[in-house]
Amino acid sequence: MSQFTENTQPQNSVSGGEEDTIDVKQIIAKIINNWALFVISIVVCLCIAALYARYSPTEWHVASKILVEDDKNSPSAASGGSFNSDISSLFNVKSSVDNEVQILKSRSLMTEVVKQIQLNVRTYSNFGFKKVEIYSKSPFNINITYKSDTLINKYYDIIILDKDTYEIRNSEDDVDLKAKFGNPVILKQYDITLQRSNLFTPRGKYGISIESMDATIDEFLKGFSATLSDKQSTMIDLSIDYPQPKKGEAILNALMRQYLLSNLQNKVQIADSTMAFINKEIDIVFNGLNGTEKQFEQYKEENNIADISEQSKALVTSASDYYDKLNQQTIQLTVINDLEKLLNNPNNKKLLPSALLLNTNDQSFSQSIDSYNQLLIARDKAGLSYTDQNPVIQNYNVQLNNARANLLRNLGTYRDGLITARNELQKQNGTFAGQLKQIPSKQRIYLDFQRQQQLKQDLYLFLLQKREETAISKTSTISSSRIIDYAKSDFSPFKPKKSSIYLIGLVIGIIIPGIYLFVKELLNVKINSKTDIDSHTTTPVIGEISHNKDNISIVVTQNSRSVISEHFRSLRTNLQYVLDPSKANVLLFTSSMSGEGKSFLSLNLGSALALTGKKVLFMELDLRKPKLSENMGLDNNNGFTNYIISKDTDYQKFIKHMPFTENCYVLSSGPIPPNPSELLISEKLETLMADLRRDFDYIIIDCAPVGLVSDALLLEKFADITFYVLRQNYTYKSQLNIVNDLKNNNKVKNLYLLVNDIKAQDGNGYGGYGYGYGYGGYVDDEKKSRFSWFKKK
């Protein structure tokens, strides 16, 4: 029958201190009995998940690869030209690649890409509730003339009316204009001109958003990623997440092209700086050479000199060799002095030419100048990503100052050597000059002019040669980085992940009703299940009575076969195991408060007992609020109160016959007295109970709730068994403390719980009513064997 009565031993007590355990069976029963709630919740959540997956923005992953080559060991770098070397070749490979990664992530590079593709302007097509950005399939192109650098994000609805006209709307700025394609629309921040594209159709609704440049740059920098493929390679993986795959590919390709162009421009800058220096020196040497030639020509004309005397050929030849060496030293000193002037100027940021030194046996100066130039370029590139106060820039400045000081020291040492060598040559030339004193002065002056002319001519030819070499190097310069994989989007979007969304929807659909039932149970302070009773008291349950759905007072009759009537018959059967049927028994009904069904239970239990041929008397001793007679439609006058206060000892005059069966009688309460408790302790009541035990088989007392007044405790001494009535979803759990107090303090003997108004199939431990009942707990060891037999049956 009941899950209440299957508890043969008490599980928990209020004062036992045992921890509550999770009843898995009860949880499963709740889920099964509330399956409709779970199904509805799951269906609703899955529908919401489907709508979210349908209308949430999609995002595609676009990826590419770029290779940064190491040119430090390339032939061009080894030759001293260094125009094809990487901008960070002064450092090791990993540091160089790390710098390139930072350049790829730089704001300046992304700014150029945003301006090139006009990424702050987007075109949308409306698909129901979802706006989808279109890129290559837009029916029109957008040209914008900005009036200010500071923009506020705006969205405009574009409605194409026909092949020539469209309407532009913005409710925020109160814009609602009609315009023709090709004509500008004048707005506050800019002028917009729409041009028909090759995919134009003369109908449709679209939208365009125009955002500030800074906000757009920040957005794409957040979505852009540049990382090394691994620590040992110079391969860089580039990726970006974007809702439009084709546009994402275009953005990534444009960024790589801009990066390669910037890389190439840095290399060309070295050649341009060298060309400018050489051209300046050529102009100076050319002007000096012209002046010397004019003076020489004038001298020969004035002195009528056509040729040099044969007598001085041998001497002149020897002197010319030393003069050549002296000329070379002088050229070197000139170049050294010019370079020293540039280095002594701390504000000079120009690159130094490294190919002007004539002494090919000493490559240290060329390598030092190349290192100085590479440091300048590396500092300029780092300035794209860092401020002047950044430790990286400060480190470059320190390296540049050290390189400049080192160059100045080397140049000074080298110049001193040149001066010493020149002085030695001058001494030798002085010797030859003394020998040439015998030569006519005209011939000596002639030779001086000739030497000056030859010196400047050689310097002029040297500069012309270097200019041509620099021009060739500039033309052949290529970037040190190259694209390995162009941008390509994944086959399908990575967001939203529909499987995850549906799974989350399913989980939430299960959790929501679970939380609802948990909170409902948590907030429920009334007795609702078998567990509620077991966890608060060890008092045994003798019976369970189901809900009276017919709402009638008497449900147990001769021909009744309802579930509730069978419950009363089962309760009647249980009584034979706790009472002695060979004598008259007094059954006392009480409860915690009014409304728990004492009168209903006492009437129907009495009716069930009367159907077995027993003589039953109902005593309506709830003198404060009698309900028994009212439920039967009887007048409660001339009852117990009248008997107690009268001098008449014949109780038969106050007993009425119950109309529903011939074996039932009632002693109604009588008029409500002002002192009910005093009447219940009357000695006349003891005489009455003795007489009733003699004349009736069962005396059923319906008394006041023990949780409100003490009437039941005054009558308990007459009772053979006390029924404490509980009502499902009505009696409070805290009121079971009253039951524990009565039992633990021995205020009531032979106390049993009787649960009323149980609703079937509510997942609370009740339901499945049948004909084989047991009940939890035993009164004493003598009755245990009978209980066991009853449970088996």
Residue (of 712, 783, 776) closest to 748 by Cα position: 712
Identify whether 224 is part of a domain.
yes
The verdict on 233 and 306 lying in the same domain is no
The verdict on 352 and 248 lying in the same domain is no
Cross-strand partners of 589? 702, 723
The verdict on 707 and 614 lying in the same domain is yes
| Residues 6 or more apart whose Cβ sits within 8 Å of residue 783 | 577, 578
* More reliable by pLDDT, 307 or 659: 659
> Given pLDDT bands bounded at 50, 70 and 90, which one contains residue 503?
very high
Which stretch of 219-233, 606-620, 769-783 has the lowest confidence by average pLDDT? 769-783
The verdict on 588 and 711 lying in the same domain is yes
pTM over 0.85: no
Q: How far apart are CA 634 and CA 340, in angstroms?
A: 131
The pLDDT tens digits for 326-352 are 777 788 788 778 777 777 777 777 777
pLDDT over threshold 70, residue 251: yes
The pLDDT tens digits for 517-543 are 888 878 878 888 787 888 888 899 998
| Coil, strand or helix at 477 | coil
Identify whether 543 is part of a domain.
no
Which of 245, 261, 277 represents a domain boundary (last residue)? 261
Which stretch of 28-42, 181-195, 266-280, 599-613 has the lowest confidence by average pLDDT? 266-280
Which stretch of 260-264, 270-274, 614-618 has the lowest confidence by average pLDDT? 270-274
- CB contact at 8 A, 3 and 773: no
pLDDT over threshold 50, residue 8: no
Q: How far apart are CA 463 and CA 712, in angstroms?
A: 128
pLDDT over threshold 60, residue 18: no
| Coil, strand or helix at 122 | strand
The verdict on 287 and 343 lying in the same domain is yes
Helices (H) and strands (E) in the chain, counts: 22, 21
> Given pLDDT bands bounded at 50, 70 and 90, which one contains residue 752?
very high
The verdict on 193 and 326 lying in the same domain is no
Identify whether 745 is part of a domain.
yes
Identify whether 369 is part of a domain.
yes
Strands 751-758 vs 721-727: parallel, antiparallel or unpaired:
parallel
Identify whether 607 is part of a domain.
yes
> Given pLDDT bands bounded at 50, 70 and 90, which one contains residue 439?
low
Q: What is the pLDDT of residue 85?
A: 40
Q: What is the DSSP letter of 486?
A: E
- CB contact at 8 A, 461 and 281: no
Phi, psi (deg, nearest 5) at residue 763:
70, 20
Q: How far apart are CA 151 and CA 78, in angstroms?
A: 51
Mean pLDDT computed over every residue of the chain? 79
pLDDT over threshold 70, residue 588: yes
Say if residue 514 is exposed, middle or buried (CB neighbours under 10 Å; 0-12, 13-18, 19+).
middle
pLDDT over threshold 70, residue 308: no
- CB contact at 8 A, 30 and 763: yes
What's the total number of domains in the chain? Answer: 4
Q: What is the pLDDT of residue 362?
A: 58
The pLDDT tens digits for 212-226 are 888 889 988 988 998
Identify whether 563 is part of a domain.
no
Q: What is the pLDDT of residue 402?
A: 83
The verdict on 51 and 166 lying in the same domain is no
Q: What is the pLDDT of residue 786?
A: 32
Q: How far apart are CA 700 and CA 588, in angstroms?
A: 6
Q: What is the pLDDT of residue 89?
A: 39
The verdict on 139 and 45 lying in the same domain is no
Q: What is the DSSP letter of 370?
A: H
| Token pair 């017919």 in the structure block, residue | 550
Which of 240, 261, 282 represents a domain boundary (last residue)? 261
Q: What is the pLDDT of residue 26?
A: 75
The verdict on 130 and 228 lying in the same domain is yes
The verdict on 427 and 471 lying in the same domain is yes
Q: Could you list the residue range(s) of the whole structural domain that residue 601 is in? A: 570-759
Q: How far apart are CA 17 and CA 668, in angstroms?
A: 45
Identify whether 537 is part of a domain.
no
The verdict on 132 and 46 lying in the same domain is no
Q: How far apart are CA 667 and CA 670, in angstroms?
A: 8
- CATH number of the domain within which 617 lies: 3.40.50.300
- CB contact at 8 A, 247 and 135: yes
Identify whether 341 is part of a domain.
yes
The verdict on 512 and 587 lying in the same domain is no
> Given pLDDT bands bounded at 50, 70 and 90, which one contains residue 617?
very high
Q: How far apart are CA 439 and CA 283, in angstroms?
A: 36
